[in-house]
Amino acid sequence: QVHVVESGGGLVQPGGSLRLSCAASGSIFSINAMGWYRQAPGKQRELVAVITSGGSTNYADSLKGRFTISRDSAKNTVYLQMNSLKPEDTAVYYCNARRASLLYWGQGTQVTVSA
C-alpha cells in the first residue's frame, strides 16, 4: 500500500503564502497520480490540484492563478504552493495518491488564513 503524510500547514495572514508538502512511501512506483484536496467546516471535500505520473496538472478553476502543484520524484513528494491566501482558503488540506484504482489519503494538515 501507499502511506501519505502531509505537512506545512499553519496560520497565515491574508495575502500570505504557504507551501504544503506531501510525502509518499510504500508502493510508490505504481502511483499514477497525486493530488491535493481541501475541506472547510460544513462543506464537502473539493479538488484543489492534481498531478499525474506523466506530469499533467489540473486545478480547481478558481485556484489556478494562486496555487501551484509540483513534484520532486527523487523525494517521492508533491508540493502545493499557495500564494495570495484568502480567509476562504481556510480548510484542512488533504493529499492523496492513486494506485491500482485505489486512493490513499493522508490525515490532512490545517491551513488557517486570518488576520
Give pLDDT tens digits for 49-73. Answer: 999 999 999 999 999 899 999 999 8
Which amino acid is residue 67, in one-letter code? Answer: F
pLDDT computed for residue 50 by the predictor? 97
pLDDT computed for residue 10 by the predictor? 98
The three cell numbers locating residue 112:
488557517
pLDDT computed for residue 83 by the predictor? 98
48 pLDDT higher than 90: yes
Residue 97 to residue 35: CA distance in whole angstroms = 7
Q: Are 45 and 95 in contact (CB under 8 A)?
A: no
Q: Are 92 and 39 in contact (CB under 8 A)?
A: yes
SS3 at position 110:
strand
Cβ neighbours of residue 70 under 8 Å, at least 6 residues apart? 51, 78, 79, 81
pLDDT computed for residue 111 by the predictor? 98
- Across the chain, mean pLDDT equals 95
28 pLDDT higher than 90: no
Residue 81 to residue 85: CA distance in whole angstroms = 10
